[in-house]
């Protein structure tokens, strides 16, 4: 069986394939934009503290993102430097973030996690 070549396909078939591919590219790009607009890294510390103080369930979502981000940094660090920086319990990361955010309400949770990770002993 010969592989399909768009050059040998009828014009309607080429149009259908091209349109489908364009739609898939737009859809995949739309998903990437939606993730970027979710903006968890850009949540302000003041907002995070308000969520924590109100026992808002969304605080758990932000904390889960923070732990995932720190884990990703750690994996990258381990690949580059060969050492594991995250030997503390995960509660240490969230406690650090809460303390950092109470002191720096205008910063973001991304800043809190960067400060936490790079404050750990190498």
Q: Per-residue pLDDT tens for 4-36?
A: 444 555 555 554 444 444 444 444 433 443 334
Higher-confidence residue of 6 and 67: namely: 67
107 has pLDDT over 70: yes
Q: What is the pLDDT of residue 10?
A: 56
87 has pLDDT over 60: yes
* Residue that is written with structure tokens 């580059």 in the block: 80
- CA–CA–CA angle 79, 100, 63 (5° rounding): 60
89 has pLDDT over 80: no
Which residues have C-beta within 8 Å of that of residue 18, sequence separation ≥ 6?
6
The pTM (predicted TM-score) of the whole model is 0.63
Q: What is the pLDDT of residue 13?
A: 52
Measured distance CA(5)–CA(69) in Å, rounded? 44
95 has pLDDT over 80: yes
Measured distance CA(30)–CA(35) in Å, rounded? 9
Q: Which two tokens mark 63?
A: 């904390």
Measured distance CA(72)–CA(47) in Å, rounded? 24
3-state secondary structure 42-58: HCEHHHHHHHHHCCCCH
Say how many CA atoms lie within 13 Å of 9 toward its Cβ: 13
Out of 50-59, 60-69, 74-83, which region has the weakest mean confidence (pLDDT)? 74-83
């Amino acid at each position: 069986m010969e592989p399909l070549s768009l050059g040998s396909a009828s014009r309607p078939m080429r149009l259908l394939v091209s349109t489908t591919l364009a739609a898939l590219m737009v859809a995949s790009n739309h998903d990437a934009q939606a993730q970027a607009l979710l903006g968890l890294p850009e949540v302000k510390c003041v907002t995070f503290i308000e969520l924590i103080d109100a026992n808002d369930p969304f605080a758990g979502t932000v904390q889960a993102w923070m732990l995932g981000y720190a884990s990703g940094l750690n994996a990258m660090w381990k690949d580059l430097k060969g050492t594991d920086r995250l030997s503390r319990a995960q509660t240490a990361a969230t406690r650090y973030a809460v303390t950092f955010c109470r002191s720096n309400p205008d910063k973001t949770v991304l800043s809190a996690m960067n400060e936490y990770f790079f404050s750990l002993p190498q």
